[in-house]
Amino acid sequence: MSPRPPARRGSVLPFFLLALLVIILDQLSKYLVHKHMQLGQMGEILLIGHWLKLDYTTNPGMAFGVELLPPPYGKLLLTGFRLLAVGGLSYYITYLWRHRAAAGFIACMTLILGGAVGNVVDSVFYGIIYHNAPFGSPTPWFFGQVIDMIYVDIYEGFLPASWPLIGGKYVSLWPIFNLADSSIFIGVALILLLQGRFFKQTEQNTTLVAPAPPASDTAQ
């Protein structure tokens, strides 16, 4: 029988607690925004000039305010996909732990899981809790709108005419997102930036320990 690497110490539980922390912070921020802010631009709070603001917005679609699927049943498909993703991520995080993957990589996957659950909660329950399902939805369940509040007003206007291909065109770059979206983005970005380091750490963790030679051999 081939030798196995030493058993991993500790537990996978702290990683899931990290996901739970993301979920709690995300839901708390959405509750405070819903409770204390006015919906739309009239309730905007400036944080860094007009570049970074708090703006209570509801989003029936994907992350950063992007809606890719047609209503109303596209919303059900999206929520169903998110639920499958949550289950798959939970299983994958446990798999990574058991197979001694780098702790940093597991933490990044956990940030993605926490963000995914945060937005699933909105989609499944907010139509009932906050009564924000779009008009005409067949049921408030699973048709809740995600609450976004972080507004980054990057640029809005015409690009210089001298720029090739895109010069003279009007562009509007102003993503609106929430803490769940931010957690997903940070997790993905860190994986892309640090994947080489994560791979090396995983290799080190899974290196088999060479068995000690028999006592009779060492005595000769």
Give catalytic residue positions. Answer: 148, 181
**Which of 171, 176, 155 has its CA nearest to residue 33?**
176
Beta strands in the chain (DSSP E): 45-48, 52-59, 146-152, 155-158, 170-173, 176-177
**Alpha-carbon span 103 to 90, nearest angstrom:** 15
Query: Which neighbouring-strand residues pair with 54?
Result: 45, 150
Cβ contact 188:112 at 8 Å = yes
Cβ contact 110:101 at 8 Å = no
Cβ contact 104:197 at 8 Å = yes
**Which of 21, 40, 25, 62 has its CA nearest to residue 145?**
62
